[in-house]
Structure 1
Amino acid sequence: MNREILISKWLNNDLNDQELEAFKMLEDYDDLVKLNEGLQAFKVDDYNTSKELDTVLNTIKSSKKQSTYWFKPLMRVAAILAICFGLYYYTTTLDTTITTEFAQKTTIELPDASSVSLNAKSLLIFNKKDWKHHREVELNGEAFFKVAKGSSFKVKTKTGLITVYGTQFNVKQWNHYFEVICYEGLVGVTYNSQERKLNPGDSFLIIDGKIIAKEKENRSQPSWLSNESTFKSSPYKTVIAEFERQYGVDITLMNIDSEQLFTGSFAHDNIDVAIKAITLPLHVTYSKTNNTIILKRE
């Protein structure tokens, strides 16, 4: 994780144990801690750095006629105060960014007690400071949402916009794949400027730019929350991509049609069992070397 993200998460008290250790290894760790302690006395909701600096400078100019002895020291103080206030205002308005790596899942509690469970290799962005007025997140990957009742809640993705009012739903946004499943409440999905309402059990699925009809969802939550990926008449390439995310491996297909449909599932806790689950039904053989798997049809 890069330095800027570590500092942002530290200021928002969002560091986990591993990230905290990485933050402490930064060269300027001691300076950052001292600066943050000094800024605690300056916490305000809104601060106009330029306006306050002008006020200080005007005061200095008016007093300059009486004495020039204090001008340079006061200029230094004014500059330091402006920088401190500006730094505080900037850091408290930064977005919070949560990411997961291969084979990793995590659950985040949002400022209104809504929760988001992130699947492997996913990214979620939101802003705590403006949350009361704009309950909005950006998602790249897959996430399951439990939204607390309140004002409009929106999930922005590259493909479509999801709007909800107190509900449970799953969003999956990958290259050439976009799916929203409503498990509770009411979900609105806006795609190509048109909104479609989803009731519990309804889905909205787009693969390679085409809207795909799906049967009613009868689960109470997505299977990946129970460490299992389930597919029904899904292109084989989407199965392979999900397998790579869950196990952190690279898979190469040989003499296999990646568009053929697959129905089945694989678990996330045993790679040997999982690879058989996605190869045996299609009569595909495989070989595995370290993090590379080759699937082949004779």
Structure 2
Amino acid sequence: MKKNHLLAKWLNDDLTEDELAEFKASPDFEKYQKIKNYTQHLQVDDLDEDAMLANILQQKKATPKVVPLYKNWMFRAAAIFVLVLTITFAVKSFVPETETASFGKRNTFLLPDNSEVVLNSGSEINYKKWNWNNKRRLELEGEAYFRVSKGRRFEVQTSLGKVSVLGTQFNVRARKNRFDVMCYEGRVKVNYRNTQIILTHGQSVTFHNGKQFSTSINSSKPEWIDNQILFNKENIRNLLDEVQRQYNITIVLNTRDTTSLFTGKLPANDLETALQIISTTYHLEAKKVSENKIIFDEK
């Protein structure tokens, strides 16, 4: 208590000489002296309470902002619209695109890099738009002709093998156990099981039942683009399968000779002529039992 009394008197400069000597001898005097030195220069303005009150009363209360209900509805509708657009974009970007050509039809379309694809009858292609320019890869079932734009590696994956190019024109056919690749421009790399081969302009390769056949081509594009079906040492059942695809018909074959191989062309836009060529080659008689059904019998 006495210590606090001396402190108060010291702050007001009311200590006697004896009291001041006693206070300076205390262990806390140095600390008190520093506090006094730092605070003695501070000045505090007099508080004008009346002016403060007047200022508060003059201020207007802020009017609360009211948002009409119809605006709330519009905001929600806009948010939903943006969400739908976002989901739609994601679906279109990440979900694989599918292009098909049904029997008797063809389908020509462009890929995201403007590479052109012509799908032959009874064929399908799947690919993803997302990051396409960095990963140009698609899956093919059936037959297609490609005009590939320049860019990164372009890959065609089939169940029988893979074709890789940079920018060229080529044809790929994967039917049953036969894999055909024809190069019409540039270079293509073909992978079939453990075999890898490079094709250049005018070259083609066929893998059939594990055997490899290489041939030359003289045309600038596949014959089927011009409605001609080209066969090279093809058995009659595979030949008729292709005819069924091109004309969207059903063919029944009643013959014991299925080993003879056919090399040549058949029209893809003239069924009567195609049937006549087949009948003459294999000594068969074609009977049209309905609009979309043909029966071949031995003569």
TM over 0.5: yes
Give, as a single letter, the amino acid of the residue that structure 2 aligns with 1:229. Answer: I
Structure 1 equivalent of residue 98 of structure 2: 97
Pair 1:113-2:118 in alignment: no
2:215 and 2:162 mapped to 1: Cα distance?
22
Q: Matched residues in 1 for 2:238 and 2:197: separation?
A: 24
Query: Which residue in the other structure is 2:277 paired with?
Result: 277
- 1:92-123 per-residue CA deviation (whole Å, 9 max, x = no partner) reads 31111100111101211111121011110110
Match of 1:41 in 2: none
Q: Deviations over 1:41-68 (max 9, x none)?
A: xxxxxxxxxxxxxxxxxxxxxxxxxxxx
Structure 2 contact 160–177 (Cα < 8 Å) conserved: no
* Structure 1: stretches of 5+ with no match in the other structure: 1-76
Q: CA RMSD in A?
A: 2.4
Q: Which secondary structure does the structure 2 equivalent of 1:225 belong to? A: helix
1:261–1:130 Cα change, 3 Å = same
Q: Which runs of 4+ in 1 moved over 6 A?
A: 77-84
**What is the aligned residue count?**
224
Residue in 1 that maps onto 2:141:
140
Q: Percent identity?
A: 33
1:238 equivalent in alignment to 2:242: no
Cα deviation, residue 86, structure 1 = 4.8
TM-score w.r.t. the length of structure 2 is 0.69
| Residue of structure 2 in register with 1:200 after alignment | 201
Gaps of 5+ in 2: 1-77
**What is the Cα deviation at residue 214 of structure 1?**
3.6
* Alignment match, 1:37: none
> Could you tell me how far 1:85 is from its partner in structure 2?
4.6
Alpha-carbon offset, residue 192 of structure 1: 1.2
For the 8 Å contact 2:133–2:151, the answer to whether it is kept is: no
Measure how far apart 1:90 and its partner are: 3.1
Distance 1:168 1:294, change over 3 A: same
Q: Secondary structure at the match of 1:215?
A: strand
Structure 2 counterpart of 1:294: 295
Contact 2:205/2:215 (<8 A) preserved: no
Alignment deviations for residues 121-180 of structure 1 (CA, whole Å, 9 cap, x no partner): 110111112211101111001001111111100001001010011111100011122111
In structure 1, the partner of 2:123 is 122
Mapped contact 1:237–1:259 kept (Cα < 8 A): no
1:9-35 deviation digits (Å, cap 9, x = unpaired): xxxxxxxxxxxxxxxxxxxxxxxxxxx
Could you tell me which amino acid in structure 2 is paired with residue 144 of structure 1?
Y
Rounded to whole Å, the distance in 2 between the matches of 1:79 and 1:263 is 61
The answer to whether 1:263 aligns with 2:271 is no
> What is the one-letter code of the residue matched to 1:125?
N
The answer as to whether partners of 2:183 and 2:202 remain within 8 angstroms in 1 is yes
